[in-house]
Structure 1
Amino acid sequence: MSEEQPRNAQAGQRQKQREKEQRQEKGSAFSNYGLTRKNEEFVYQLNKQLNRQGVAKDKQPAMIKETIDKLLAGQKKGQTAKSLFGTPTEYAKELKNPQPADPQATTQRSMKLLSVDNSLIFFSIFTFMYGIMFLLSPEILKTKQYGSSGITAIVLVAVIGGVLFSYIMLQLQPVNKKQARPMAVRILILVIGLVVWLGIYMMASWLPNVINPRLNAWVYIIFGLIAFGGDMYFRNKYHVSGVYGGGNRRRR
């Protein structure tokens, strides 16, 4: 038993040495491109993943060359392999099963999804907020003008705000980086959007009570909970990131 253990240990050491030599040999093939050590490691791991995932051998060189070119361009801008591609495993899957890119269609789809998502969460916030306010301070219900607490005003502010902020979000984080506006312009759009939304909120508060009824506090709370639950379902189904969750779309 004592002789078998050293034998196994030696075999393990030889295996590790062979793997190290293979790694160095493979890594040296990528060292002539001017990549950083981390980027070389990424390409090495990507090459392993392409083999593991069964990508055709004749397609791998072109994939590796394209990746190296993007890494070299990214190095000049201080971008890391992870920020460009994610993990080697994830990127290998993308290379194996590429999805057709249509920035315009993606933007339009994103706008619709974000508008629904943002409108639902705005509606949830306002209805839940007013419901709690009315429960804690019943005297508020005695005001003659319902203003922004009326259900019509809440719906208008939520829907228009949802569409408006969806547009702003896409300007701040465009799907197609080539069409990105200058930072100063994006900040200006954000400021104007906030001012416009505030104006809409103020105008909605002037709606007459007859078309802007105020509902029971518990009804508002129930509406808020339903809208929040519906938004969670919508987000999970369509993988949407909205006003209370940063967008995490990775761009190439």
Structure 2
Amino acid sequence: MSEEQPRNAQAGQRQKQHEKAQRQESGNAFANYGLTRKNEEFIYQLNKQLDRLGIAKDKRDAMITETVTKLQAGQKQGQTAKALFGTPTEYAKELKNPKPKDEPVDNKRSFKLLSIDNTLIFFSIFTFMYGLMFLLSPEILKTKQYGSSGITAIVLVAVIGGVLFSYIMLQLQPRGRTKRRPLATRILILVCGLVLWLGIYMLASWLPNIINPRLNAWVYIVFGVVAFGGDMYFRNRFRVSGIYPGGRRPQRR
């Protein structure tokens, strides 16, 4: 028993010396990158974690190089490795099993997705609103001209409004390299869009009853609920969030 203890102590000492030599060798290599001590330590630990995960040396070197490049850029803005990547263990796992990136969404597809999203929202708002109005004030149903409460008028206003405001949104907040328009131009686009939509709303209210029937109050409410639920599914399915579909993942802070 007494002989095993010195052997274990010697083995432990040799292991510590080996790790120290390995750390010095790696440290000397990482020192050439001009990183801070904390960031150098992060790269050293990241390299160890990647090795433990069985990443081949050529791939590991490429991952380290890419991480160092990001760290060098982050250092100029005062960002640390932990703020950018989290812990070495977490980031090593992320490098080994990267999450699929969101596909870039071009303006044409953005316009299409936004139009569908806005159309569903407008349709759900108008149908639910009229359904509720008819339930609370049945006397409204006695009017001879169905006007904007007719189903055809609601569909027209919702579809045209969805397309129109999607165009306006993309004009106010352009994507990619498109330059942002001056404030006066953006205000003018917004005002013109609202005036045009209100004009379409007024014209739709003059549709004859024969092609613009008024439905039962509960039917309108059901339409509103179904349209809202359908829009929530659509947004989740195509990642339509805020004013743009296909939103990026938030970066770590």
TM-score of the pair, normalised by structure 2 = 0.62
Change (3 A) 1:225 1:65: same
Q: Is the 8 A contact 1:150 1:213 kept in 2?
A: yes
Q: In structure 1, the residue corresponding to 2:249 is in which secondary structure?
A: coil
Change (3 A) 1:21 1:144: farther
Computing the radius of gyration over CA atoms, which structure comes out larger, 1 or 2?
2
> CA–CA distance in 2 between the matches of 1:201 and 1:144?
22
The one-letter amino acid paired with 1:209 is L
Change (3 A) 1:126 1:88: farther
**1:166-185 equivalence runs, <5 A:** 166-170=166-170, 172=173, 174=175, 176=176, 179-182=177-180, 185=182
> CA–CA distance in 1 between the matches of 2:115 and 2:93?
29
TM-score of the pair, normalised by structure 1 = 0.62
Alignment of 1:213 with 2:205, yes or no, is: no
Q: How many residues align?
A: 228
Q: In structure 2, the residue corresponding to 1:66 is in which secondary structure?
A: helix
* TM-fit CA distance, 1:221: 0.6
1:238 alignment counterpart:
238
* TM-fit CA distance, 1:152: 2.5
Structure 2 unaligned segments of length 5 or more: list them: 1-12
* TM-fit CA distance, 1:188: 4.5
Partner residue of 2:189 out of 173, 187, 192? 192
The one-letter amino acid paired with 2:249 is R
CA RMSD of aligned residues (A): 4.7
> CA–CA distance in 2 between the matches of 1:149 and 1:35?
67
Structure 1 unaligned segments of length 5 or more: list them: 1-13
Alignment of 1:92 with 2:91, yes or no, is: no
The one-letter amino acid paired with 2:109 is R
1:203 alignment counterpart:
200
> CA–CA distance in 1 between the matches of 2:145 and 2:37?
67
2:131 alignment counterpart:
131
Q: Is the 8 A contact 1:84 1:251 kept in 2?
A: no
1:155 alignment counterpart:
155
Percent of aligned pairs with the same amino acid: 61
Change (3 A) 1:237 1:65: same
The one-letter amino acid paired with 1:181 is K
Q: Is the 8 A contact 1:151 1:214 kept in 2?
A: yes
Change (3 A) 1:155 1:39: farther
Q: In structure 2, the residue corresponding to 1:116 is in which secondary structure?
A: helix
> CA–CA distance in 2 between the matches of 1:241 and 1:56?
39
* TM-fit CA distance, 1:58: 0.7
